[in-house]
Every structure is written in structure tokens, then in C-alpha cells.
A and B are shown apart, each in its own frame.
Chain A
Amino acid sequence: MKRTLGWSDRTILIAAGFFFITPFLAAGEYSLRGYGGKGHTFANYTWILHQLGFGPALLTSLRIAGVSVLLLLFLMIPTVVYVQLGGRRWARLIEILCLLPIVIPVVSLAIGAQVAMPKRLQSTSYELCFFYVIICMPYVYRTLNTGLQAIALPTLVEASSSLGATPVKTLVLVIIPAIRSATLGAAFITFAISMGEYALAVLLHFHTLPTWATNAAQENLYGSVAISIGSLFSVWFLLVLFSYLPAIKGALQNKKVKVT
């Protein structure tokens, strides 16, 4: 039965909507202001593309985000599968470990982990990937865990094994595709956090998109807000795309079946 919203529900929704959308609208309007705050123009967005350091900073952030995503999925998918299949006694420990990054301040993490990091890695921006893996762990663990709980994991693994597949083949051919939505969600969270992370990058003196944007803001405040709005909507667009991919693919598949 379809539930109609009462006046109190509507009021709460509208208030929450305003609370959520007003800063975006304000920032969007601000990013479109012309020189000296007069008129509205897209000049601040085109300004970004011509700034020195924007391209390298963007590429560095994209590389770090990409490697972080791969590293985290490589580490977390087998771990969560193991916990679900037979390692339940480790589940509590792993959950606690995955919660630690939320309670440990980033500065402590940066200093502590920097000491432990091999010297060779300290000189490359890929060092950040390891920190981002740690930061994203709480969100990724929960996303993957929920995805795996939604499928009949033990039966699928046993079926695959009885058909002759090794554990690696089962993971690659059966489990990962079966939790594609959760995997994409986990990948997206990691990508978004890695692209927007500022504190660690600046503490460890790496030039990523957020650190570059902070510097650029000193020259053109409107432009820096345009950067924030641009990256926010790019990431948001990716999120929407990833969320709807399985549904779009399913719809196409249905169409194909009907045709045949």
C-alpha cells in the first residue's frame, strides 16, 4: 500500500532538503560570480583548466585513488569472504581493527605510519595509498560484508568447488561478480575519499588535487570554490552511474531475453 506523507513528514523533508541543498546552491552561485563579484559567468570553471599544476595534481590524485581502490579491494574482498565462510571467530577482531581508523586522529596516523613506512615508499606519492586504504577500511568492510550477506556464499563456493574451480577462480569468476554492486560501492567510497583527502597529503607534503586547490584559492577564491563544486559533482555523477549500472544492465538483459 502506498503511504502518503503527512504534513509533519513533509515539513521535516523540506527542512532537511533546505539544510542539505542550501550550501550547495550558495557555493554554486558563488563559483559563478564574475570578477569582483559582479554578474555571473563560467569563467571560474574555464580558469581552472588553464592553471599551472592543475593537470599534474589531478593526475596524481587519480593515480593515488586508482591504486588505493585496487589495493583495498585486493586486501578486503578475500578477508571478508574468509570471515563469512569459516573465520567467524576473527570477525569481532577484524571489525575492531576496521573501526580504529575512525577513532585515531589523522595526525597520529600520519606520524606513526610514516615512521613504519619503508624509506623507498616515503619518497613517492603512492605512500598515500596505504594511508587511504587504512582510512577507507571501516566503510569498505561494512559495504562488502553487507553485499556478501545478501548472497548464499557457502553454497556458491561449494558449488563452484565441486565443479572443479580453485578458490582463486571461485573468487574471480563467481564471488566478485555476484557482489558487483557492493564492490562498486566500496570502490566508489575509496575513490571519493582518496580524491578529496587533504590533511594527510598536506602533512606529508604531497601535491594532490585538494592541496593544489587550497593553494589556488589564495589567487582566485571563486575559482577554488568552482574546483570544489566540479569535483563534488564529478564524484556524485560517478556514484549515480555506478548505482544504476546493474539496473541498466539487467534491463538490457531482459530486453535481450524477450527478443530471443
Chain B
Amino acid sequence: MDIHGSTVEFHGVTRKFGNVVALNDFSLKIKPGELVTLLGPSGCGKTTALRILAGIDKEHSGVVEIDGKDMSSIPANKRNIGMVFQAYSLFPNMTAQENVEYGLRVRGVDSVARSKRASELLELVGLASQSARRSTQLSGGQQQRVALARALAIEPSVLLLDEPLSALDAQVRSQLRDEIRRIQKTIGITTLFVTHDQEEAMAVSDRVGVMNKGNLDQIDSPSHLYNKPKTPFVAGFVGLTNVVPAVAQSKNEVLVLDQVLDISEHAPSLVKGEEVKALIRPEAISIEKAAKGAVVITKSFLGPMTRIGIDVGLHDLIYVELTSKEAKKIDTGDHVEVTISSDSVMVTHA
């Protein structure tokens, strides 16, 4: 297959729907062969960015470039971009094989060549034996695999994945997610993936961009994004975060749950006495059984880990994650002593 990764660049792209700014001065550069995910809640602008790159939607201002070429005046059908949609999008009147051949057929490729290419791609997505089936005879996961093969058949310069797994059940979603990553790495195609599922984003991406109200809050590697979130929104959206009231003790120290923590790495220049909020990851909290103190209220088994909800006298419970083996020692109603490690604690103004 003759696919080479292209460079994709958004320069200050803005898109409005009436008075609502869906995408605000959005800039992003995706390197050749890289898989970048845009992650965010509904309405944050991630799909709008993808649709503008595909040429299905139009930016109000800014420039989108592929390999340095301005795409503004190029219609969707001339951009050579492969796209897999959230909704099942196979053409119902065609078989899986005909669906994969479609892009080549409209390009005038002869039937022998397109049949060969379609067979190769169906093999790649593990559906060679299902080539004669129509979309109604395929499961949701199979339909999305065919859609992926169809998108790749045209040897696109960029692959766009618009929440392609969201309609699938958990097991199929996980399998197909890994398969998408395997295929993407095998052929080295530049890929923009859009999802609201943080686990999905973390699992498949080279870099994840977290979007909030039309803005790209932070773009980083999954581990960096989780460990070093730059904004409270990113900290709250990526992974579980406890939001706890705190008081600044000095420029670098805060008082949280009766503990003074040195947070010099994350401190937003604090003023002594200032009321702030501490954003604490569950793994930064450890608990020990005690005769009095905080009370264990909930205990949720998550497989290898168990999430424990603790009443520390605040409005909301704080959550701690222990290995399920450790958690066996703790029951609901137990009193515990809570210790916070200053690692993974971030402070924001109240």
C-alpha cells in the first residue's frame, strides 16, 4: 500500500454557529504518521475541527494545510482524506467488497485493480471472508472495520476517525481500538481521532489534545497530560480528580485536609492566606485504618483496582484507588487516616 504520512496544520481556525463559537482560534500541527486525538465533552469543538479538515464544514477564519498546501478552496471530494464516521456509514445497496471499492470506482480505477486492493484491505481488517455481505448482514464492529478499509482504500493522505467506536459494545470497542492503532502504525498514516472517551484517547494516541469550549486547552503525550495537566479543566477531564478546598500557607505551600503540602511544581504563585482549590489524583492519597477520623462510605470493585469513597467532612466524598487486594482490609463504615502525597497535586484559584 502506498500511503505516506502527511503533515496537517491548523492555523488560527475559527468556526461560529450563530453566536456560538464552536472553534476559537484553533491551532494544531500533526506530524507525518502521528496519531493525534482530540478529546473533550460534547460541544467542545473537536468534531468541528475534524469536519473542517475533511472539507465537510467551512472555517470562518484561519487556514488548514496538508503538507503545506492551503485546503480552504479545495472541496471535500478533492482532498484525498479517508474518514470513518460515528454512525454506521456503509452504503446499504453495496456489499462489503463494493463499499471498499467505491472510492476507487469513482476515481475510475479499473475493476481488476480495485478488486485486488479491496481484497487486500478486507484482509488487513480481518474481514476477507465477509466480502460478499451487505451492511445489514454485518455486526456493528464489522461495519466499522469495513468503513476503515474503505477509507484506506483510496490511499488517503490523512485518516480521520470521528468517534468510530462509540456505537459499539465495550468488548468490541476495545478490540477494534487496538486494531485501529495496529493498522495505523503498520501503514504509517497521519491520523486525527476524535473522541469523548479518555480511556480510548489515552490508549491509542501519540498525543492527546484536550478541548474545552472551542479551545485547545492542552496537547501532550497521554502520560504527560495525566501527570502534568496545565489547567484545572484538563486535570478534571483526564482521569479522576478530587477537588478539595485549600488555603495557601506560603508561595509554594498549601494546607489541605490538615496537611501542609509543598506544591512548588504546580503552584500558580500563591499569596499567603488565599483560599484555593487543590486538585488531587486518587493515587496521590493513601489511607490507613484508624480509631477515628474520616469514614469509608462507598467501595466500588473495578477489577484489579477498587475505588473507595471517603467522607472527610466536605460536601463531596474524596476518592482513593487501592489495589483490590489492599482494599480487602477496608470496609464501609471503617474510620481511616488520610495522607496526601504532594505528587500529582495541582492548585487552582478558588
Q: How would residues 175 to 216 of chain A score, 1 for a CB under 8 Å from any chain B CB and 0 otherwise?
A: 001101000000000000000000000000000000000000
Q: Which residues of A contact B77 (CB under 8 A)?
A: 161-166
Say whether A162 contacts B83, CB under 8 Å.
Answer: yes
Q: Which residues of A contact B56 (CB under 8 A)?
A: 158, 161-162
Minimum Cβ distance to chain B for residue A253 (Å): 7
Could you say which of B80, B83, B132, B134 contacts A159, with CB atoms under 8 Å apart? Answer: B83
On whether A161 and B133 interact (CB within 8 A), knowing A174-B91, A178-B92, the answer reads no
A155 to B87, CA, bound (A): 7
Say whether B92 contacts A159, CB under 8 Å.
Answer: no
Q: Which residues of B contact A152 (CB under 8 A)?
A: 87-89
A164 to B132, CA, bound (A): 23
A180 to B75, CA, bound (A): 28
Q: Does A108 contact B (CB under 8 A)?
A: no
Q: Nearest chain-B residue to A254 (Cβ)?
A: B137
A158 to B82, CA, bound (A): 11
Give the A-B pair count, Cβ closer than 8 A: 83
On whether A163 and B102 interact (CB within 8 A), knowing A155-B85, A155-B87, A253-B134, the answer reads yes
Q: Which residues of A contact B125 (CB under 8 A)?
A: none
Q: Does B93 contact A (CB under 8 A)?
A: yes
A178 to B92, CA, bound (A): 6
Chain A interface residue count, CB cutoff 8 Å, equals 24
Could you say which of A151, A162, A173, A178 contacts B76, with CB atoms under 8 Å apart? Answer: A162
Q: Does A256 contact B (CB under 8 A)?
A: yes
Q: Does B103 contact A (CB under 8 A)?
A: yes
A178 to B80, CA, bound (A): 24
On whether A256 and B150 interact (CB within 8 A), knowing A173-B102, A173-B106, the answer reads no
Q: Which residues of A contact B93 (CB under 8 A)?
A: 174, 177-178, 180
A164 to B77, CA, bound (A): 4
A159 to B164, CA, bound (A): 13
Q: Nearest chain-B residue to A165 (Cβ)?
A: B106
Q: How would residues 245 to 258 of chain A score, 1 for a CB under 8 Å from any chain B CB and 0 otherwise?
A: 00000000110110
Chain A CB within 10 Å, residue with most, of B81, B87, B93, B147: B93
Q: Which residues of A contact B151 (CB under 8 A)?
A: 162-163
Q: Which residues of A contact B75 (CB under 8 A)?
A: 161
Q: Does B292 contact A (CB under 8 A)?
A: no
Minimum Cβ distance to chain A for residue B151 (Å): 8
